[in-house]
Amino acid sequence: MRILSGVQPSGKLHLGNFFGAMKQHIEAQEREECFIFIANYHALTTIQDADRLRALTRDVALDYLALGLDPAKACLFRQSDVPEVTELAWILSTVTGKGLLERAVSFKDKTAKGLSASMGLFCYPILQAADILIYHSDVVPVGKDQVQHIEMTADMAGYFNNTYKCEVFKLPQARLNEAAIVPGVDGEKMSKSYGNTLDLFDDAKSAKKKIMSIKTDSTPVEEPKDPTTCNIFALLKLFASKDEIAEWDARYRKGGMGYGDAKKRLAEFFEEKFGPARERRATLEKDPSYAEDVLASGGKKARAVAQGVMAKVRDACGIVIHH
């Protein structure tokens, strides 16, 4: 079973990235064949500064390695190390109707938030489909907001197979991540664009300061509190055991507890979980060649698969390349 996932190098990774995707990627490497790519072509829709893109791409690799991704078990690579993916995107665009792309919810959402409506943003689902299809991926773990893109990928694979009367592409399945909605410090969904994140590799002091600033309601200490509407409780649930969650639930409902107690416990959890990874990351950062070697060898492995698939694609549509 081959699992494929991409992560955009668009800024510092935060708690929402970890519980929304990275944790599942790192756990999946024990059971399945994982291909995880750093989507630097995709990032060009928002990052147009060469040095920054290079640095952020390297940072994502360091973050994954520090958090426990094992290059002996999972294939971690840069999207741009497999240039065939852009060739496939062009070929898919010749069999895909404009109407399909106009229905993409994420395009509407992003332009509504003020991102410029570039052709890159509009054609994003085609490059995403190429990313998925070129590695014969079986499963793509996604959040609910990305399910439509996987359905569009299956549509594009079908258009190609039907147009050229072939069975080149495997139809991928979406696998829904457990819906970990991670609230930010302001109570909205945690997101870089809202500036409300708890960054994974913040030092202990900054992380604690941010946690202590998380918004709560103004229920007095002695009054009972509703854990189901509390941001701190939602975050505690991501870290604590079932038994400990039950204890916090009871404390909330009983009253006599200030939110500060729950915040302090959350800060402890954060440090227990990410403190050791922060130290590993600092060590990895001292040897820039290590992350680069991991990405280069991952890229070679991924490209070998992509080249096999592209040979069939070219053959099906009559494109001749003399090497």
- The percentage of the chain sitting over the pLDDT mark of 70, rounded to a whole number, equals 99
Q: Across the beta sheet with 33-38, what order do the strands follow?
A: 74-78, 33-38, 2-7, 139-142, 173-176
Q: Which of 61-65, 105-109, 126-130, 293-297 has the lowest mean pLDDT?
A: 105-109
For 76, other C-beta atoms within 10 Å of its C-beta total 27
> 192 an active-site residue?
yes
- CATH 1.10.240.10 positions along the chain are 201-282
Residue 271 confidence (pLDDT) above 70: yes
When pLDDT is cut at 50, 70 and 90, the band that residue 275 belongs to is very high
Q: Clarify whether 242 is annotated catalytic.
A: no
Residue 210 bears catalytic tag: no
Select which of 189, 237, 273, 301 is catalytic: 189
146 pLDDT higher than 90: no
The active-site residue, picked from 12, 23, 170, 192, is: 192
Strand, coil or helix: what is 295? helix
- CATH number for 201-282 (one of 3.50.50.60, 1.10.240.10, 2.160.10.10, 3.30.70.100): it is 1.10.240.10
User: 2-182+288-317 domain in CATH 3.40.50.620?
Assistant: yes
Q: What is the CA radius of gyration of the chain?
A: 22
Asked if 248 and 233 count as a contact pair (C-beta separation under 8 A), the reply is yes
Catalytically annotated residue among 110, 208, 210, 225: 110
CATH 3.40.50.620 residue ranges of the chain are 2-182+288-317
